[in-house]
Structure formats: structure tokens, C-alpha cells
Structure 1
Amino acid sequence: MSVSRMVVISGFAVALLLVAVLEGLARRPGSRIPTLGDVCAYVMQYEVGKLPVGRIGVLGFWWWVGWHFFAR
């Protein structure tokens, strides 16, 4: 395995760990940090006229994740 691949994998592992830590901090009683579910709900309610831009953005994000990590 090349060094650059290990650096990228390590970077994603660190990012995932930071998200998990942030979610843990958000779920403490009295925390002012929004949970990941709260952030997703806020983004998905965004609309321009009748066009659900937030939902399209979340769908596009999941498409990108699936394309880059699961399509081989």
C-alpha cells in the first residue's frame, strides 16, 4: 500500500473520529452544540420557491459518497 493512500485513509479516519467526538459532545445534557440529526433536518428544510434545494443537496452528497467509496 502506498504512503499517499495511507495518508488519505488516516485523514478520513481522523475526520470520522472528530465527527463521533462532536456528536458525543452534542448529546450531553444542556449542550448548545446541535446533533448531526438536527443539522441534517435544518439543511433539508431549505427551499427556494417550491424547489427543495436542501433535500437535493443531501441526495447529491450521498450520491458523491457512494460513488467515491462504494463504486469499484
Structure 2
Amino acid sequence: MTVAQVAIAAAFAVSLGLFAVVEIAARREGSKVPTLGEVCGVVMRYRVGPLPVGRIAMFGFWWWLGWHFLAR
């Protein structure tokens, strides 16, 4: 592995760790931080007229994630 690949893998690991910390903080009693599920719910309800922009954005995000991590 090159140094760049190690740095990228480390950055993704740190990002996952931060997501976990925020999710744990959001699930504490009396927390005002929304959980990841609540954030996704708000995004999924977003519409511009009849077009479900939030659902299209979530679909695009999952497609991008799968393409980059599962297609190879």
C-alpha cells in the first residue's frame, strides 16, 4: 500500500469513528443532537413541488457509495 492509500483508509476510519461518536451522543437521554435516522427522515421528506428531491439525493448517495466501495 502506498502512503496515500493508507492516509485515505485512515481518514475513512476516523470518519466512521466520528459518526459513531455522534450517534452515541444523539442517543443519550435528553440529547438535542438528532440521530442519523432522524436526519435521513428529514432529508427523505424534502420535496420541491411534486419532485421528491430528498429521495433522489439519498438514492444518488447510496449509488455513489456502492459504486465506490462494492463495485471493485
TM-score, normalised relative to structure 1:
0.98
Q: Deviations over 1:28-69 (max 9, x none)?
A: 000000000000000000001111000000000000000111
Distance 1:18 1:28 in 2: 16
Shift of 1:8: 0.0
Moved over 6 A (4+): none
Q: Which amino acid aligns with 1:50?
A: P
Q: Determine whether 1:50 maps to 2:50.
A: yes
Unaligned runs of 5+ in 1: none
Structure 1 equivalent of residue 41 of structure 2? 41
Distance 2:34 2:69 in 1: 27
Unaligned runs of 5+ in 2: none
Alignment RMSD: 0.4
Q: Which amino acid aligns with 1:35?
A: T
Distance 1:28 1:9 in 2: 29
Count matched residues. 72
Structure 2 equivalent of residue 19 of structure 1? 19
Q: Deviations over 1:12-37 (max 9, x none)?
A: 00000000000000000000000000
Structure 2 equivalent of residue 2 of structure 1? 2
TM-score, normalised relative to structure 2:
0.98
